[in-house]
Amino acid sequence: MKIHIVDYGMGNIFSVQKKLLQENITVSISSEPQDILQADKIILLGVGHFKRAMDNLQELNLIEPLNNFALIQKKPVLGICLGMQLMASFSEEGNSTGLGWVDASVKKFKTSDSQKFKIPHMGWNTINLTKKSALMHNIASNEEFYFVHSFYMQPNDPDLILNETNYIEKFCSGIEQENIFGVQYHPEKSHDSGRTLLKNFISL
Amino acid sequence: MFRPRLIPVLLLRNNALVKSVKFKNYNYIGDPINAVKIFNELKADELVLLDIDATAEGRRISSEVIKRVGEEANMPFSVGGGISSIEDIKDVIACGAEKVILNSYAITNPLFIQEAVQHFGSSTIVLCIDVKKKFLGKSNYVFIRNGKEATKYKPVELARIAEEMGAGEIIIQSISNDGAMSGYDIELIKSISDAVTIPTVALGGAGHLTDFKNAYQHGNVNGIAAGSFFVYQGDNKGVLINYPSWQDVTKII
């Protein structure tokens, strides 16, 4: 089993790498297009600006191999935080197109009560499981995960929603579409429940 | 349900864990990595790691220490101490930190906050505001360089600038309440929390569970941070790392 982490210069790769290595699997990290096609699974991470992330993927010639991996080979991909958002067709952040694997748009949190609901949504919040999934094996509804984000992905097909979370209103905090998985929260920073999720992805 | 975070703050001096009173009288607590291991077991919500001598010594917090913390921590942690360039932030994040805490350099050069946000996004950039009254003065001012140097800024004024520059979070620290374990400066904390729409964290003065509850109920904060509370036990302040659950806090009246 070889999991590849795509390094496109945006994110906290070290933490995810450490958590994966605890599970005794092979982890590769690079920005080389050919490493994507040799992997069994891919994790797409990221913090920062959506458009800058897409620009980086473009400059590094990573978009085509990623599309190939996810849409033609249909091997498992897990997007975390911005990595999940990049899978959408469009984001309000920088008015940018995304990878377009998921028919969804990425929107900014809006609230009329900016004292109660500070943005970014930063901290521990619970997730609801909205459908059965191997990624959620041994994870209960209402389990807490760590979030830090100002934007969220909204799929046009509600059947793709895997998790929902309440902040301002109910938003989509996880998706599953065949081999494509995305979570808005950080499993690598979420104690035991996060470790369970990463193990589930490894065993898919 | 969304809930506030309880955040232990670990102060580093020569890469050892210490705890101060009013930013002075440093007491040796132990090995920081050992502390992180215990906070893992206790399932702490988040950790803050600050090298308090970095700015004075013209360097930044050791990458080696951050990396060791990053290997251990099962929770998010943020890091501060002498951060003064985009390269510094890049390194700190590459070592596993979730967020970077800016202080002296950014307060002297607020445009640096904006530059950092453009590179790393709002949610990565935190500003820590250390506050006390000037000698014989009546109103609060922002201090830098570990409380040694006064600035021209009133706390709320600087908080608004930080928000304008795109910072994702503000830590509000009362220097006079530091280590006193007699409660937060709720008035100060609320004044800043109410002035901005980004998350705020209270720091300085927690000694009891009721202090956490007060900060949350009356300070309008998203995060409640403390030093002494999490490393001392009892009236004699014996060193014992401890961490209550949020349920423990909400249980008290």
pLDDT at A10 over 90: no
Tens of pLDDT along A48-61? Answer: 889 999 999 999 99
CA distances from residue B121 to A51, A153, A185, B124, B165 in whole angstroms, order as listed: 11, 17, 16, 6, 11
Instruction: Report ipTM (2 d.p.).
Output: 0.92
Q: What's chain A look like in SS3? A: CEEEEECCCCCCHHHHHHHHHCCCCEEEEECCHHHHHCCCEEEECCCCCHHHHHHHHHHCCCHHHHHHHHHHCCCCEEEECHHHHCCEEEECCCCEECCCCEEEEEEECCCCCCCCCCCCEEEEEEEEECCCCHHHCCCCCCEEEEEEECEEEEECCHHHEEEEEEECEEEEEEEEECCEEEECCCHHHCHHHHHHHHHHHHHC
The reported pLDDT for the residue numbered B253 is 61
pLDDT at A198 over 90: yes
Taking the Cβ of residue B71 and every Cβ of chain A, the question of whether any pair is shorter than 8 Å is answered with: yes
Taking the Cβ of residue B166 and every Cβ of chain A, the question of whether any pair is shorter than 8 Å is answered with: no
Which residues face B201 on adjacent strands?
B171, B223
Map out the domains of chain B as residue ranges: 5-251
φ and ψ at residue A182, rounded to 5 degrees: -145, 140
The reported pLDDT for the residue numbered B252 is 77
Contact status, residue A88 vs residue A102, Cβ threshold 8 Å: yes
DSSP for B37-103, written as a single string: HHHHHTT-S-EEEEETTTTTTTS---HHHHHHHHHH-SS-EEEESS--SHHHHHHHHHTT-SEEEE-
Distance CA A154, CA A161 (A): 9
What is the average pLDDT across A1-30?
91
Which residues of A carry out catalysis? 81, 186, 188
Which of A123, A186, A190 is closest, CB to CB, to B222?
A: A123
Distance CA A149, CA A81 (A): 8
Report the residue of A12, A81, A164 to disrupt the B interface, i.e. the one with the largest count of B CBs within 10 Å. Answer: A12
Distance CA B93, CA A14 (A): 8
The reported pLDDT for the residue numbered B120 is 87
The reported pLDDT for the residue numbered A63 is 98
Burial label for A110, CB within 10 Å (0-12, 13-18, 19+), is exposed
Question: What percent of chain A has a predicted confidence (pLDDT) above 90?
Answer: 92
* This model's pTM is above 0.80: yes
Contact status, residue B243 vs residue B233, Cβ threshold 8 Å: no
Mean pLDDT by runs of 10 across the 253 residues of chain B is 95 96 95 96 97 96 94 94 96 91 98 94 94 93 97 98 98 97 97 97 96 95 97 89 92 74
CATH topology of domain B5-251: TIM Barrel (3.20.20)
Residue A8 CB coordination number (10 Å): 23
The reported pLDDT for the residue numbered B251 is 85
Residue A115 CB coordination number (10 Å): 11
Tens of pLDDT along A99-142? Answer: 999 999 999 999 999 888 999 999 999 999 999 999 999 999 99
**pLDDT band with cut points at 50, 70 and 90 for residue A166:** very high
DSSP 3-state of B14: coil
Contact status, residue B125 vs residue B110, Cβ threshold 8 Å: no
Domain holding A176, by residue range, is 2-203
Distance CA A48, CA A10 (A): 7
What is the average pLDDT across A86-110?
97
Q: Which residues of B touch A48 (CB under 8 A)?
A: 119-121, 124
Give me the number of domains chain A comprises.
1
Give the CB-side neighbour count of residue B169, counting CA atoms within 13 A: 28
> Do A13 and B97 make contact, defined as CB atoms within 8 angstroms?
no
The reported pLDDT for the residue numbered B58 is 95
CATH number at residue A64: 3.40.50.880
> Do A146 and B75 make contact, defined as CB atoms within 8 angstroms?
yes
Which residues face A166 on adjacent strands?
A170
pLDDT at A67 over 70: yes
φ and ψ at residue A78, rounded to 5 degrees: -120, 120
Report the residue of A118, A152, A165 to disrupt the B interface, i.e. the one with the largest count of B CBs within 10 Å. Answer: A118
Tens of pLDDT along B132-155? Answer: 999 888 999 999 999 999 999 999
What is the average pLDDT across A69-76?
98
The reported pLDDT for the residue numbered B119 is 86
The reported pLDDT for the residue numbered A14 is 87
Taking the Cβ of residue B63 and every Cβ of chain A, the question of whether any pair is shorter than 8 Å is answered with: no
Taking the Cβ of residue B95 and every Cβ of chain A, the question of whether any pair is shorter than 8 Å is answered with: yes
Which residues of B carry out catalysis? 130
